[in-house]
Structure 1
Amino acid sequence: MEIIIALAVVGLLVLFFVAQYNRLIRLNISVDESFAQIEVQLKRRSDLIPNLVETVKGYAAHEQGTFDAVVTARAKATTASTVADVAAADGMLTQALRGLLAVAEAYPDLKASSNFLSLQEELSTTENKVAFSRQFYNDNVRNLNTAVKTIPTNFFAGFAKVTEREFYEVEDPQDRNVPKVTF
């Protein structure tokens, strides 16, 4: 009888260990998958940019500095690999795109162009998908980091070779400034 109880306890401990290990592995895979989704959406945005730049160039060829900023930011965004590098490049590209769209505002014929309007709509849709992907990634990172730091899963994190992950944060100084509203 004592042997059966001892085997049952050992069996329960093994099941508990396996469950905690598998949970950490699933959370880690979810973080990797959600980061891959960010990269998919950023690639989609990057693919739209040359068409947008060429469309605006047709109307505002003298805005070379703006075009160069967008092309440079796009190049950095396509070569970034770590979460921090991707986030920094993402912020830089977002700033450059704002500059490009600001240039477009000065050209009524461009704003009325169906090609430009279509590209602008596609870019807007993609920006929404990028924002959703960032949030999804950060939610998964939060779940993983919580599991890695809390009992009992923190005892198994080292064995599963799972560590805390960094959040996706885009450093965009313009987003931190309070807008000035005048009437």
Structure 2
Amino acid sequence: MPPSWLLDLLFWLAVLFLAGLYVSWRATRLDRLHVRVETARAALDAALVRRAAVALELAASRLLDPATSLVLATAAHEARTADADGREFAESDLSRALRAVVGQPDFRATLDSRGDGTALLDELEAACRKVTFARRFYNDAVSATRIARRKLLVRVIPLAGKAPVPDFFEIDDVPPDF
């Protein structure tokens, strides 16, 4: 039978080892959540850029009247060139402009009479849907990361390091009625 001090030492080494494993697991989980937020943000940015590009393409297609083209092109250009602080507002403005343009009476019939605009409209519809999904996915990732960062262990032992707390991306992304 080993001496009692040896059993005590083995017990405390096992406790330290298990605590180390738990802290390591928590740090790895937090790191994965931050990577998920970055990936979701990149996907959201790509979807927003694609939506603006399709809106610009529709504005330049000569399928719309000049005033409508100007409104849509201005909103799309502002959304593409907005800085980080004004991006949410610019993207919301683009959503409202798209709803105003597509919500015109007999919009689809007008596009069909002026040329083959249905493919462009279908592409715009898909881009708007992708923006909605990408924003939801990003905000879900931000929510999970913020919850993980609020845990006591993460705050006591700064497991998040110097990574900034991610912010939600809130825009008016209600798609137009196609």
Output the TM-score relative to the length of structure 1: 0.77
Q: State the Cα distance separating 1:108 from its structure 2 match.
A: 3.9
Q: State the Cα distance separating 1:167 from its structure 2 match.
A: 1.3
Separation (CA, whole Å) in 2 of partners of 1:40 and 1:139: 18
- Identical counterparts, % of pairs: 26
Check the 8 A contact 1:27/1:144 in 2, yes or no: yes
Check the 8 A contact 1:157/1:163 in 2, yes or no: no
CA separation of 1:51/1:22 partners in 2, compared to 1, >3 Å: closer, same or farther? same
Task: For residues 29-88 of structure 1, give each alpha carbon's deviation from its aligned partner in whole angstroms, at most 9, with x where no partner exists.
Answer: 111110111111111112212321123x34523x2xx32332222222222353x53322
Q: Between Structure 1 and Structure 2, whose CA radius of gyration is higher?
A: 2
- The equivalent residue for 2:92 is 91
Separation (CA, whole Å) in 2 of partners of 1:147 and 1:40: 27
Q: Is residue 65 of structure 2 the alignment partner of residue 60 of structure 1?
A: yes
Residue in structure 2 matching 1:38, options 40, 44, 48: 44
- The equivalent residue for 1:180 is none
Separation (CA, whole Å) in 1 of partners of 2:138 and 2:104: 32
- The equivalent residue for 2:3 is none
Check the 8 A contact 1:31/1:140 in 2, yes or no: yes
- The equivalent residue for 1:181 is none
- The equivalent residue for 1:124 is 125
Gaps of 5+ in 2: 1-5
Structure 1 residue identity aligned to 2:78:
K
Q: Is residue 53 of structure 2 the alignment partner of residue 47 of structure 1?
A: yes
Q: Is residue 24 of structure 2 the alignment partner of residue 15 of structure 1?
A: no
Give the paired residue count: 168
Separation (CA, whole Å) in 1 of partners of 2:124 and 2:35: 29
Q: Which moved more, 1:30-39 or 1:102-111?
A: 102-111
Q: State the Cα distance separating 1:112 from its structure 2 match.
A: 4.2
CA separation of 1:9/1:38 partners in 2, compared to 1, >3 Å: closer, same or farther? same
Check the 8 A contact 2:95/2:172 in 1, yes or no: no
- The equivalent residue for 2:72 is 70
Indicate the structure with greater helix content: 1
- The equivalent residue for 2:149 is 148
> C-alpha root-mean-square deviation of aligned residues, in Å?
2.6
Task: For residues 120-171 of structure 1, give each alpha carbon's deviation from its aligned partner in whole angstroms, at most 9, with x where no partner exists.
Answer: 1111111111101011011111101111113333434465334432211115
Q: Which moved more, 1:108-117 or 1:15-24?
A: 108-117
CA separation of 1:157/1:104 partners in 2, compared to 1, >3 Å: closer, same or farther? farther
Gaps of 5+ in 1: 176-183
Structure 1 residue identity aligned to 2:147:
T
Separation (CA, whole Å) in 2 of partners of 1:15 and 1:150: 17
